[in-house]
């Protein structure tokens, strides 16, 4: 087996343009703690509950992402990208990614090639991976992406449209 020993990637969000912070809590993800089996790809593979509040004034939509900067690739791994959620939405239940979405909202394909949530799936015996669940408050009704966009393209668009960011992260290691 290949030795995957390497330095830990930085938290990517402080490297982005500074925006307001707002609040996010989850019944499923505890800040800095191991994810439950429900959020693991080969177990429950279920998107977590998220509830956000104190969003910035001028928020017109939301995008939700889950990113693993610790994947053994130069660009990390996008597990979930959900775009153009309405501004009046403040909570999603566990499993929301697998259900019917609000009008206008859509998933772009994650780095596993699926339109939806892909749970934690780090290589066996690798270092602990961090999974950043982020609610992005967007200052436009639509991010201007489409379902064929890549997660990186959506992330690039968010750099110019995000008014605020709420982050909760969990960890997982096989």
Close Cβ partners of 120 (under 8 Å, ≥ 6 residues apart): 35, 39, 40, 41, 68, 79, 129, 131, 170, 172
Query: Which residue ranges in the chain fall short of pLDDT 50?
Result: none
CATH code for the domain of 83? 3.90.280.10
Look at residue 1 in the predicted model and tell me its pLDDT.
65
Whether 75 is covered by a domain: the verdict is yes
Whether 152 is covered by a domain: the verdict is yes
Whether 66 is covered by a domain: the verdict is yes
Look at residue 32 in the predicted model and tell me its pLDDT.
98
Whether 28 is covered by a domain: the verdict is yes
Maximum distance among all Cα pairs of the chain, rounded to whole angstroms: 51
Instruction: Quote the domain boundaries for residue 58.
Output: 22-172
Look at residue 28 in the predicted model and tell me its pLDDT.
98
The span from the CA of 157 to the CA of 143, in Å, is 7
pLDDT in tens, 139-155: 999 999 999 999 999 99
Residue at token pair 């394909």: 109
Contact 14, 69 (CB under 8 A): no
Whether 11 is covered by a domain: the verdict is no
Whether 13 is covered by a domain: the verdict is no
Exposure pattern of 6-36 as b/e (b: 16+ CB <10 Å)?
eeebeeebeeeeebeebebebebbeeeeebb
Both tokens assigned to 92? 């999603």
The total of structural domains in the chain comes to 1
Whether 4 is covered by a domain: the verdict is no
Whether 8 is covered by a domain: the verdict is no
The span from the CA of 118 to the CA of 112, in Å, is 7
């Amino acid at each position: 087996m290949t030795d995957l020993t390497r330095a830990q990637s930085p938290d990517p969000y402080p490297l982005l343009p500074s925006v307001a912070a707002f609040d996010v809590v989850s019944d499923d993800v505890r800040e800095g703690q191991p994810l439950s089996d429900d959020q693991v790809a080969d177990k429950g593979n279920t998107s977590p509950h998220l509830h956000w509040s104190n969003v910035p004034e001028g928020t017109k939509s939301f995008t939700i992402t889950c990113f693993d900067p610790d994947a053994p690739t130069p660009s990390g791994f996008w597990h979930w990208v959900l775009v153009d959620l309405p501004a009046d939405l403040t909570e999603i239940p566990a499993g929301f990614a697998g259900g019917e979405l609000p009008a206008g909202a859509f998933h772009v394909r994650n780095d596993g090639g699926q339109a939806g949530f892909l749970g934690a799936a780090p290589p066996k015996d690798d270092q602990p991976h961090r999974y950043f669940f982020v609610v992005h408050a967007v200052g436009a009704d639509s991010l201007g992406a489409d379902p064929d966009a890549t997660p990186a393209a959506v992330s690039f668009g968010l750099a110019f449209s995000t008014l605020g960011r709420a982050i909760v992260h969990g960890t997982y290691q096989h």
